[in-house]
C-alpha cells in the first residue's frame, strides 16, 4: 500500500515523548493560519512511498520508542496510516498521531469511515485539535496552541470520551 508523505525524520525528540521516528503525511484540509507545516497542505504534493518501505526504515532505527504520524492530516490517509501503525505495534513500539480533528470529531468520522476508527484503535497517544494562532503557547509540550490536547486513546476509547494523558 502507498502513502503520500511530505517527509520522514528518523530521530526526533520534539514530536512526542522519547525518541520518535516521524512520518509527515501529505495533504491537509484544515489550513490552520500560520501552520507549522504549510508545505504539507497540498494533497498532490510530497511523494508516494510504500508503507513497507517506511516500516523497513523504522525497523532500522534502534533507539526509538515509537512512531509519530503527523502531517498534513494523517486521518485523510487513515487506511495507509493504520497499516503503518499496526506494523509498529507488532514491534512493541508505541504510536502517536497528530490530528487537526478533535477526538470527538474523529469518533464521529469513524462511524462512517471504518479506517478512521481503525487508526484510532492502533493509536496510543493523540494530539488533537487545529492549531489556533491566538492560543499559541511555546511552553506547551509537543503542541503549538493551548486548545490542543494530549489524549490517552486506549482509555478514551474504553470510557467513550477524551481522557488526558497523565
- The overall pTM is greater than 0.85: yes
- Cell 499559541 locates to 136
State the pLDDT at residue 36: 87
Contact of 1 with 51, CB cutoff 8 Å: yes
State the pLDDT at residue 155: 98
C-alpha cell at 109: 468520522
Q: Name residues of the chain where pLDDT drops below 70.
A: none
Give the whole-angstrom CA distance, residue 85 versus residue 156: 18
State the pLDDT at residue 28: 97
Give the whole-angstrom CA distance, residue 44 versus residue 78: 16
Give the whole-angstrom CA distance, residue 66 versus residue 146: 25
State the pLDDT at residue 38: 93
Chain length of the chain: 166
Amino acid at each position: 500500500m502507498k502513502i503520500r508523505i511530505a517527509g520522514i525524520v528518523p530521530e526526533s525528540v520534539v514530536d512526542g515523548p522519547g525518541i520518535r521516528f516521524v512520518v509527515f503525511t501529505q495533504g491537509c484540509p484544515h489550513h490552520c493560519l500560520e501552520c507549522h507545516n504549510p508545505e504539507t497542505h497540498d494533497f498532490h504534493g510530497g511523494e508516494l512511498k510504500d508503507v513497507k518501505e517506511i516500516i523497513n526504515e523504522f525497523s532500522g532505527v534502534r533507539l526509538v520508542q515509537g512512531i509519530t504520524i503527523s502531517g498534513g492530516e494523517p486521518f485523510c490517509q487513515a487506511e495507509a496510516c493504520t497499516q503503518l501503525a499496526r506494523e509498529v505495534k507488532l514491534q512493541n513500539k508505541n504510536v502517536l498521531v497528530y490530528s487537526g480533528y478533535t477526538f470527538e470529531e474523529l469518533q464521529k468520522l469513524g462511524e462512517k469511515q471504518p479506517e478512521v476508527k481503525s487508526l484510532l484503535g492502533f493509536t496510543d497517544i493523540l494530539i488533537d485539535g487545529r492549531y489556533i494562532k491566538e492560543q499559541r503557547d511555546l511552553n506547551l509540550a509537543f503542541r503549538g496552541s493551548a486548545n490542543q490536547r494530549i489524549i490517552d486513546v486506549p482509555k478514551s476509547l474504553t470510557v467513550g470520551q477524551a481522557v488526558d494523558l497523565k
